[in-house]
Amino acid sequence: MSSMSPRRRVASAVIVLFVAALGAGFGSATAQMQTTPTPPPVTSSASSVPVPATGDPVESAPASPSPTAQASTPTVQASTPAAAPTSPAATPTPVTLAPAAAAATAVPHIEYAAHVQNIGWQTDVEDGATAGTTGRSLRMEAIRINLAGSDVAGGVEYAAHVQNIGWQAAVTNGAVAGTTGKALRMEAITISLTGAIGDQYDVYYRAHVQNIGWMGWASDGAPAGTTGLTLRMEAIQIVLVAKGGQAPGTTAQSYLYAPPQIDYQAHVENIGWQAGVSNGAIAGTVGKALRMEALKVSLADLPEGVDGGVQYQAYVQNTGWQAGVTDGAIAGTVGKALRMEAVKLSLTGGIAASFDICYQVQVQNLGWLSWTCNGQTAGTSGLAYRMEAIRIKLVSKATPIASAPTQAYYYRSGTTWHMPPGTFPVGTGTYTFGSDGQPFEVMLHAGTVNQNAIGAYQGCEIVAMYNGLTALSATKGQSVTAMLSAFPRSSNPNQGYVGDPFSQAAPGFPTMASYQVWPPAVAAFADGYAAGSKDISGASMATFQSYVMQGMPVMFWGTINLAAPKVVSTSYYGRTLLGNSHTLLIDGYNARTGQFHIDDSISGQYWTSVNTVSSVNASNNSFAVLLSS
């Protein structure tokens, strides 16, 4: 630079560089460090999250910077999580550094000068001395940097981040970075060595920043200072260190930046794509019973030199987990009337080192679930519950959000459940769950047709079957009377109904041979409505319990009013024939009381013990049919 005179020095084995002691720590609990961001210098304005303008105080402002950010300063990110630097000493501490190559005949020095508010260009300083001011609340506006005293080829390249401009194009070897005469603050800087000298030395530098004080040391092109926070640089120190040598001090908190913006948009039943929202706002609907069908998510206002994006994945009705998508692509479906049930989101690239992505979903029957973060599942699966809304935010890793992944995702997989305590409709029934997340009671949504009310005085088997198919939503729109009429007739109860189910003969007359149908014929007919229905005659009560808890009703042959059996024959088609035979439906179970809930097409609905069901079922050939779809 024109104002810097090269200095000749005798080559020696060591060089003493003056380095200021560690600066005052940045007190923000939300700062998060990142030691290796690599922003390329840019010629256009840098993006930043809008924050209240801090401004540059007049010269009469307090001289000492606060150890913590002002209240108006937003949550920021630091470049790596580490302890804050200590306050700088009044006099720089000498650091002895060995030259990188014995062949060098002269040791290089780095010289620099700052242009400061109300002062202008200061006198040149070198090798770790302070350029700019501290304790005077004056902004640095520009800088010149040069190398001197070495015969090793190369130079220095540097770029300034400037108020209202962003990252400027890089300049070299004594040129001005920043501005003069415009009253614009410098906010951050990058410095790197070029040519052969960059193979022998690292360049370290640190910034003194409004409200923060001395920050950590950055090196070799990494940013130092802040962006997006409207904070002025006030001073700088720069040193050369033999390649690969120890940093002159802590590298913690060398660069702070405002959180980028997270943007997202929901596609909702009967609405379509809603307007986009950001940073924790609600996308979707609450209280309208409308399903979310698709989601788009992207990042905006990434700091200069910090790369990254967002990846997300939807769990969709009838599909399950889709492949993940990124950065504004559609997760879910559009135009297919399929609900989203769960979602996972994660950050990619450099931004993931400093931030967590956290999200919360509103779910049918459950409301808002807990927050969860970073690829954990939010929502439900196996419950057929729709997602209705979502909120997403970025959170500093220094101040993680209170999340509860086990309360953000509920599911059913076969006989394995994870649900909150309480009573909830799930599939074919309503379940009550204990604190362990497992159900202890179920009531299936069975029909309640009374056979006598429709004139099917002998049709208990078919009416019980119809009520059970109702629980499965598997009647295919047919009425019970239509089913009674359509049921096959036969002289063999294993193949069809024997007699007329609409007969008005009083129940319990001496012989029931003319009014019977048995499990093989019932299971075959039911399978036409609910595929998977089958004859389970001889099954244990534990099997009955398991099926019912899984949402599948069980028909069993017992007796009218669960009374003692009245045996008519022990050899009717090889089976016992009862004069008071009656077929009933099990549509509920309570594990804590040891009771089945009975759907009785003559006597109505009631609870009775498992032992009672076991006894009367055993007396009637242990006949049973599972209704399953």
DSSP state letters, 147-202 = EES--S--EEEEEEEETTTEEPPPEETT--EE-SSS---EEEEEEEEETTHHHHEE
Name the β-bridge partners of 387: 363
DSSP structure string for 513-567:
TTSB--HHHHHHHHHTTSTT-EE-TT--HHHHHHHHHTT--EEEEEEGGG----E
Q: How far is Cα 282 from Cα 279, in angstroms, rounded to an integer?
A: 9
Cβ atoms 587, 553 nearer than 8 A: yes
pLDDT at 550 over 70: yes
Element (H, E) at 615: helix 610-619
- Report which DSSP code applies to 437: S
Predicted local distance difference test score (pLDDT) of residue 89: 38
pLDDT at 589 over 90: yes
Cβ atoms 422, 385 nearer than 8 A: no
Closest CA to 602 of 405, 408, 461, 439: 461
pLDDT at 55 over 80: no
pLDDT at 52 over 60: no
Residues in contact with 439: Cβ distance below 8 Å, sequence separation at least 6, in sequence order: 417, 419, 431, 432, 433, 549
Cβ atoms 388, 368 nearer than 8 A: no
Type of residue at 304? E
pLDDT at 354 over 90: no
Residue where the block lists tokens 């996972």: 344
Predicted local distance difference test score (pLDDT) of residue 40: 37
Predicted local distance difference test score (pLDDT) of residue 22: 32
Summarize pLDDT for 123-135 with one digit per residue, the tens. 999 999 999 999 9
581-590 vs 554-559, strand pairing mode: antiparallel
Mean local confidence (pLDDT), 194-207: 96
Cβ atoms 160, 143 nearer than 8 A: yes
Token pair recorded at residue 110:
């780095």
Q: 325-355: b or e for each residue (b if 16 or more CB lie within 10 Å)? A: beeeebbbbeeeebbbbbbbbbbeebbbbbb
The answer, as to whether pTM is greater than 0.85, is: no
Element (H, E) at 461: helix 460-471
DSSP structure string for 44-93:
SPPP-----------TTS-SSPPSS--TTSPP-EESS--PPPPPPPSSPE
Predicted local distance difference test score (pLDDT) of residue 263: 97
pLDDT at 69 over 80: no
Predicted local distance difference test score (pLDDT) of residue 514: 65
Mean local confidence (pLDDT), 411-436: 95
pLDDT at 7 over 50: no
Predicted local distance difference test score (pLDDT) of residue 541: 98
Predicted local distance difference test score (pLDDT) of residue 77: 52
Closest CA to 143 of 121, 126, 165, 164: 121
pLDDT at 31 over 80: no
Predicted local distance difference test score (pLDDT) of residue 506: 53
Please state the φ and ψ torsions of residue 480, each to the nearest 5 degrees. -65, -35
pLDDT at 28 over 80: no
Summarize pLDDT for 527-549 with one digit per residue, the tens. 999 999 999 999 999 999 999 99
Summarize pLDDT for 214-270 with one digit per residue, the tens. 999 999 999 999 988 899 999 999 999 999 999 999 998 898 888 889 999 999 999
Predicted local distance difference test score (pLDDT) of residue 6: 34
Residues in contact with 485: Cβ distance below 8 Å, sequence separation at least 6, in sequence order: none
Predicted local distance difference test score (pLDDT) of residue 34: 36
Q: How far is Cα 494 from Cα 519, in angstroms, rounded to an integer?
A: 7
Most confident segment among 54-63, 498-507, 546-555: 546-555
Predicted local distance difference test score (pLDDT) of residue 402: 77
Predicted local distance difference test score (pLDDT) of residue 617: 98
Distance set, CA 160 to CA 176, 256, 432, 554, 580 (Å): 9, 15, 63, 76, 96
pLDDT at 583 over 90: yes
Most confident segment among 6-10, 54-58, 564-568, 621-625: 621-625
Predicted local distance difference test score (pLDDT) of residue 62: 34
Q: How far is Cα 269 from Cα 286, in angstroms, rounded to an integer?
A: 12
pLDDT at 182 over 90: yes
**pLDDT confidence of 12, banded at 50, 70, 90?**
very low
Least confident of 22-31, 103-112, 421-430, 619-628: 22-31
Length of the chain as a residue count: 629
**pLDDT confidence of 398, banded at 50, 70, 90?**
low
Summarize pLDDT for 451-466 with one digit per residue, the tens. 999 999 999 999 999 9
Closest CA to 342 of 372, 377, 317: 377
> What is the residue-averaged pLDDT of the chain?
85
Q: How far is Cα 620 from Cα 516, in angstroms, rounded to an integer?
A: 12
pLDDT at 57 over 50: no
Mean local confidence (pLDDT), 153-162: 96
CB atoms within 10 A of CB 320: 11
**pLDDT confidence of 105, banded at 50, 70, 90?**
low
> Boundaries of CATH 3.90.70.10 in the chain?
452-626
Predicted local distance difference test score (pLDDT) of residue 118: 97
CATH superfamily of 452-626: Cysteine proteinases (3.90.70.10)
- Report which DSSP code applies to 489: B
Predicted local distance difference test score (pLDDT) of residue 358: 95
Task: State the maximum Cα–Cα separation within the chain, in Å, rounded to a whole number.
Answer: 127
Q: How far is Cα 189 from Cα 186, in angstroms, rounded to an integer?
A: 8
Q: How far is Cα 71 from Cα 5, in angstroms, rounded to an integer?
A: 45
Predicted local distance difference test score (pLDDT) of residue 253: 84
Element (H, E) at 37: none
HSE-CB for 313 with a 13 A CA cutoff: 15
**pLDDT confidence of 505, banded at 50, 70, 90?**
low
Angle subtended by helix axes 460-471 and 519-527, to nearest 10: 40
Question: Of residues 209 and 6, which shows the higher confidence score?
Answer: 209
Question: Of residues 561 and 257, which shows the higher confidence score?
Answer: 561
**pLDDT confidence of 56, banded at 50, 70, 90?**
very low
pLDDT at 207 over 70: yes
